[in-house]
């Protein structure tokens, strides 16, 4: 009799439940314009201060640089799907994490970017990272970075929850209210915009008072962010993807850029 790998079975079960259990998120995924505007106006420095202190962010970065020494220093180069999977597999093997990467299109499946499941004493010996590879390669790499971020920061938050951390494209506003999600996103932002790049794009000292505020990106910053996303991550908003997909990628681009800006303005990272 063919034995079913218990991790693959669990991933399959979680994927099956992801869509039916997250109807509200899927509604915003289908109508991204309103959320997009809200994210664009939001003061990220304030959200960052509220969720993650300077000390916690420093610990997050220190934990990550042990695995990823060039984080925030060297620019990630665009990588092929194959090389990405090889690298991700190596990292997750070293870290003793089950790694699954497969396309999940399903009904509304594209809304899901990936998930992380912490070690569960009874069922799982190791945590699981799942990445939906139906997305374009730049998005797949950032999903992996976010899920890896959960793994690298799980101990910092003393979290005993044994649930699943889903990453939905439309759910960035919720990340701003949740230190665990925001810590994982901090690593995506630092990986996407190393310090030298961030200082070039977001250096707008005339906006910086005693208390940093990071509301809307200036037109110049937005143009630089967009061209950075195109050249470095292959995200081309003039492509043929469905409009809803492009708007969700745009929300992700704005979210990670503004978080990077806030990290610079608030914590000088």
Rule CB under 5 A: which residues touch Zn ion? 165, 167, 181
In the complex, the smallest distance separating the C-beta of residue 206 from Zn ion, rounded to whole angstroms, is 35
Kindly tell me which of 201 and 253 has the beta carbon lying closer to Zn ion.
Answer: 253
Question: What's the CA gap between 234 and 107, in Å, rounded?
Answer: 25
In the complex, the smallest distance separating the C-beta of residue 147 from Zn ion, rounded to whole angstroms, is 7
**Sequence-distant (≥ 6) Cβ neighbours of residue 230 within 8 angstroms:** 236, 237
In the complex, the smallest distance separating the C-beta of residue 150 from Zn ion, rounded to whole angstroms, is 6
Kindly tell me which of 72 and 154 has the beta carbon lying closer to Zn ion.
Answer: 154
Kindly tell me which of 148 and 229 has the beta carbon lying closer to Zn ion.
Answer: 148
In the complex, the smallest distance separating the C-beta of residue 222 from Zn ion, rounded to whole angstroms, is 25
Kindly tell me which of 61 and 265 has the beta carbon lying closer to Zn ion.
Answer: 61
**Structural contact between residues 170 and 233, judged by C-beta atoms closer than 8 angstroms:** no
Residue least distant from Zn ion (Cβ)? 165
In the complex, the smallest distance separating the C-beta of residue 145 from Zn ion, rounded to whole angstroms, is 11
Kindly tell me which of 61 and 217 has the beta carbon lying closer to Zn ion.
Answer: 61
DSSP string, the chain: -PPPPHHHHHHHHHHHHHHHH-HHHHHHHHSHHHHHHHHHHS-HHHHHHHH--HHHHHHHHHHHHHH-TTTTTSPPPP--HHHHHHHHHHHHHHTT-EEEEE---TTTGGGEEEEEE---TTT-SS-EEEEETTS-HHHHHHHHHHHHHHHHHGGGGT----SEEEEETT-HHHHTT-HHHHHHHHHHHHHHS-HHHHHHHH--GGG--SS----SPPHHHHHHHHHHHHHHH---TTSSS-HHHHHHHHHHHHHHHHHHHHHHHHH--
In the complex, the smallest distance separating the C-beta of residue 202 from Zn ion, rounded to whole angstroms, is 24
Tokens of 239: 């492509």
Kindly tell me which of 32 and 114 has the beta carbon lying closer to Zn ion.
Answer: 114
In the complex, the smallest distance separating the C-beta of residue 115 from Zn ion, rounded to whole angstroms, is 7
Kindly tell me which of 19 and 212 has the beta carbon lying closer to Zn ion.
Answer: 19
């Amino acid at each position: 009799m063919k034995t079913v790998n218990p991790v693959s079975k669990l991933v399959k079960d979680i994927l099956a439940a992801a869509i039916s259990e997250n109807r509200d998120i899927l509604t915003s995924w289908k109508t991204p314009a309103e959320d997009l505007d809200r994210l664009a106006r939001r003061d990220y420095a304030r959200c960052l201060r509220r969720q993650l202190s300077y000390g916690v962010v420093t610990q997050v970065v220190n934990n990550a640089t042990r695995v990823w020494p060039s984080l925030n220093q060297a620019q990630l180069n665009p990588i092929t799907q194959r090389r990405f999977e090889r690298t991700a597999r190596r990292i997750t093997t070293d870290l003793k994490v089950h790694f699954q990467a497969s396309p999940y299109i399903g009904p509304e499946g594209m809304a899901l970017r990936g998930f992380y499941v912490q070690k569960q004493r009874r069922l799982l010996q190791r945590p699981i990272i799942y990445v939906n590879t139906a997305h374009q390669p730049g998005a797949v790499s950032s999903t992996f970075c976010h899920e890896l971020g959960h793994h690298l920061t799980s101990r910092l938050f003393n979290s005993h929850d044994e649930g699943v951390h889903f990453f939905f494209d439309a759910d960035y506003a919720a990340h701003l209210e949740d230190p665990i999600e925001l810590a994982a996103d901090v690593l995506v932002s630092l990986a996407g915009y190393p310090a030298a790049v961030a200082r070039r794009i977001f250096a707008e000292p005339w906006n910086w008072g005693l208390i940093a505020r990071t509301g809307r990106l200036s037109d110049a910053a937005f143009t630089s962010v967009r061209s950075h996303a195109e050249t470095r991550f292959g995200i081309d908003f003039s492509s043929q993807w469905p409009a809803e997909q492009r708007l969700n990628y745009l929300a992700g681009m704005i979210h990670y850029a503004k978080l990077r800006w806030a990290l610079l303005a608030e914590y000088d990272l």
